[in-house]
């Protein structure tokens, strides 16, 4: 049987991904993942002859891509804030929008050097807790998720970055088992209204537990804010990632539960309402 060269296989795969907006990138990434090389290496070795097993593995991945499965689940990896994270179908794939929450929380920690007791509620793959622990060497971070499987992924990510011991890991429902008190509460909770979510492709692959915010999209945020009233220290802050279409509604909810607090809405790179900061 004649052997197929890397470039030939890539050309065929790119043509077959007719519904993708970024077929070149996706094909390079899956080749890099199967061959255990970088994308740069792939581009400079297009004459490589592929083995039978490699072609089989690549064909399986390209079929999964054609079926709409996210690239990050195929490669098991996604970068966030300059760090690499393992991902599995048990966790939400890290989104670039969440970098805004990390960036604003890191700026707040820099301005408040004596406020170091932080909690990341709904940690998922651990991106918020791990990135902030990496940025802030004296941060005392607790990371909570209701999903045991998500916590296992987050702990593995922390281990990979030598940060596992710096973070206290807790399985639980929001802050119900935590007395705190905390200086900083961070949360990217499920916030898509159920009826909206049911029409989105994202629900075919990513966990409902990570996305479904109930009928109005706000059930978890409302519960967390109510719990935070007795768990946030004076002078502390809450950072929430929010659904962009619910910016004003979420802000109102924050102002109802924390009437004395200063609130601020941050917009992401697409000018969408994305993060709320509450300072008490």
Ligand X SMILES: C[S@@+](CC[C@H](N)C(=O)[O-])C[C@H]1O[C@@H](n2cnc3c(N)ncnc32)[C@H](O)[C@@H]1O
Residue ranges in contact with ligand X by CB under 6 A: 91-92, 94, 98, 121-125, 127-128, 144-147, 150, 173-174, 188-190, 209-210, 220
Cβ proximity to ligand X: between 33 and 98 the closer is 98
Cβ proximity to ligand X: between 92 and 254 the closer is 92
Least distance CB 117 / ligand X (angstroms): 18
Cβ proximity to ligand X: between 17 and 152 the closer is 152
Strands 83-86 vs 232-241: parallel, antiparallel or unpaired? unpaired
Of 279, 98, 73, which Cα lies nearest the Cα of 185?
A: 279
Any residues with CB less than 8 A from the CB of 137 and at least 6 apart, and which? Answer: none
Least distance CB 128 / ligand X (angstroms): 5
Least distance CB 132 / ligand X (angstroms): 11
Least distance CB 147 / ligand X (angstroms): 4
Cβ proximity to ligand X: between 94 and 236 the closer is 94
Are 157 and 84 in contact, with CB atoms under 8 Å apart? Answer: no
Cβ proximity to ligand X: between 60 and 272 the closer is 272
Least distance CB 252 / ligand X (angstroms): 21
Task: Report the greatest alpha carbon distance in the chain.
Answer: 75
Least distance CB 177 / ligand X (angstroms): 10
Cβ proximity to ligand X: between 121 and 278 the closer is 121
Least distance CB 172 / ligand X (angstroms): 6
Partners of residue 120 on adjacent β-strands = 143, 186
Cβ proximity to ligand X: between 17 and 219 the closer is 219
CA atoms lying within 13 Å on the CB side of residue 274? 17
């Amino acid at each position: 049987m004649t052997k197929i060269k890397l470039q030939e296989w890539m050309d065929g795969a790119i043509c077959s991904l007719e519904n993708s907006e970024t077929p070149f990138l996706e094909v390079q990434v899956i080749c890099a993942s199967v061959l255990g090389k970088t994308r740069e290496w792939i581009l400079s070795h297009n004459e490589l002859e592929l083995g039978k097993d490699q072609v089989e593995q690549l064909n399986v991945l390209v079929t999964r891509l054609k079926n709409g499965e996210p690239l990050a689940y195929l490669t098991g990896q996604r970068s966030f804030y300059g760090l690499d994270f393992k991902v599995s179908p048990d966790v939400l794939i890290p989104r670039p929008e969440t970098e805004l929450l990390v960036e604003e929380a890191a700026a707040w920690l820099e301005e408040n050097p004596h406020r170091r007791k932080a909690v990341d509620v709904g940690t998922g793959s651990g991106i918020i807790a791990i990135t902030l622990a990496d940025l802030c060497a004296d941060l005392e971070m607790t990371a909570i998720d209701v999903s045991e499987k998500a916590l296992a992924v987050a702990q593995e990510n922390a281990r990979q970055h030598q940060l596992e011991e710096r973070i206290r890991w807790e399985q639980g429902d929001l802050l119900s088992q935590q007395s705190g008190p905390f200086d900083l509460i961070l949360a990217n909770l499920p916030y898509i209204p159920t009826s909206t979510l049911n029409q989105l492709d994202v629900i075919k692959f990513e966990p409902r537990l990570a996305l479904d915010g109930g009928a109005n999209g706000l059930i978890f945020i409302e519960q967390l804010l109510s719990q935070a009233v007795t768990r946030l220290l004076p002078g502390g802050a809450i950072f929430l990632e929010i659904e962009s279409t619910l910016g004003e509604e979420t802000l109102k909810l924050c102002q109802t539960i924390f009437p004395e607090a200063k609130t601020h809405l941050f917009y992401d790179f697409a000018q969408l309402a994305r993060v709320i900061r509450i300072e008490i």
